[in-house]
């Protein structure tokens, strides 16, 4: 059983939703990015999602686009990301998911990427823009090294594609709660619960919900119907704001602990 599967099994036993955090590798720089990941694990994040900086992040809003620019300027890349994960893995047992566009993976070579990711201690990979119709080879390569294939689903994903995602996915499925690019919002998308219900008609895989979740109240709301909440842009914005001061790690810790406190056991 993978670390991701073990984590969601534990969450089911505890009766509570999980918290997944997203950060961009190399933002604000590689050494502090590694320290942030360690802080997220200490603060109680259940899964660490690590974004590979890429020059053309089509699905990302301005907050993560700026983080990508900072990371690239600081020397961020796929190789640097995997080296950083290997360093963090020596101290952290929390599952780590690489979040990447397909281009950096293809550029490295699929088999080379899978081998380096597995050797670094990566547990799963989400290739954001990989068409599900072309994902069979990717899944086979991931299976070879025991990596979980995380697949993205949106409110407009058809039933047929949800069914295919359920066949190809492992670990958990990542549902985006609204259309458009990433970014913190004031409220959770109104159709999020219906989307979760529709996906669950086709699969028993855990479902994490992201895009727009930024506050403890959002985490608590999503936790009523999804297996985990994903917080990205709001955390990345906090890192950008705090990176010039001495209390970056302390502020990240406090914010994530507030989110984690909202992951309370759900009534049966």
- The token duo for 28 is 């604000």
Is residue 253 part of the annotated active site? The answer reads no
- The catalytic residue among 46, 49, 148, 221 is 49
Is residue 91 part of the annotated active site? The answer reads no
Residue 196 backbone zone (phi > 0: left; psi -120 to 50: alpha; other: beta): alpha
207-210 and 173-176 as β-strands: parallel, antiparallel, unpaired?
parallel
Q: Determine the distance from the C-alpha atom of residue 172 to the mean position of all C-alpha atoms in its chain, rounded to a whole number.
A: 10
Instruction: For residue 214, give the nearest of 256, 241, 253, 184 by alpha carbon.
Output: 184
| CB within 8 Å of 190: residues ≥ 6 apart | none
- The catalytic residue among 6, 27, 29, 60 is 60
CB atoms within 10 A of CB 6: 12
Identify whether the C-beta of residue 152 lies closer than 8 Å to the C-beta of residue 174.
yes
Q: What distance in Å separates the CA atoms of residue 138 and residue 111, rounded to the nearest whole number? A: 9
Q: What distance in Å separates the CA atoms of residue 101 and residue 43, rounded to the nearest whole number? A: 28
Identify whether the C-beta of residue 96 lies closer than 8 Å to the C-beta of residue 89.
yes
CB atoms within 10 A of CB 203: 16
- The token duo for 199 is 């996906």
Residues designated as active site: 49, 60
């Amino acid at each position: 059983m993978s670390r991701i599967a073990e984590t969601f099994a534990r969450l089911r036993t505890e009766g509570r939703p999980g918290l997944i955090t997203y950060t961009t590798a190399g933002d604000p720089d590689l050494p502090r990015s590694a320290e942030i990941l360690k802080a997220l694990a200490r603060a109680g994040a259940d899964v660490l999602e690590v974004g590979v900086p890429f020059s053309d992040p089509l699905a990302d809003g301005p907050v993560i686009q700026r983080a990508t620019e900072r990371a690239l300027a600081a020397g961020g890349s796929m190789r640097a990301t995997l080296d950083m994960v290997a360093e963090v893995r020596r101290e952290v047992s929390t599952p780590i998911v690489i979040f990447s566009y397909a281009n950096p993976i293809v550029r490295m070579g699929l088999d080379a990427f899978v081998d380096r990711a597995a050797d670094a201690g990566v547990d799963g990979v989400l290739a954001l823009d990989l068409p599900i119709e072309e994902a069979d080879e990717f899944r086979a390569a991931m299976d070879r090294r025991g990596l979980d294939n995380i697949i993205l689903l949106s409110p407009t994903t058809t039933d047929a594609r949800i069914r295919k995602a359920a066949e190809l996915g492992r670990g958990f499925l990542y549902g985006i709660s609204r259309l458009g690019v990433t970014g913190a919002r004031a409220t959770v998308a109104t159709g999020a619960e219906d989307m979760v219900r529709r996906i669950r008609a086709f699969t028993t895989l855990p479902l994490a919900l992201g895009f727009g979740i930024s506050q403890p109240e959002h985490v608590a709301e999503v936790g009523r119907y999804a297996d985990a909440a994903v917080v990205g842009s709001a955390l990345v914005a906090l890192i950008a704001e705090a990176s010039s001061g001495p209390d970056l790690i302390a502020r990240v810790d406090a914010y994530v602990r507030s989110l984690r406190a909202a992951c309370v056991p759900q009534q049966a």
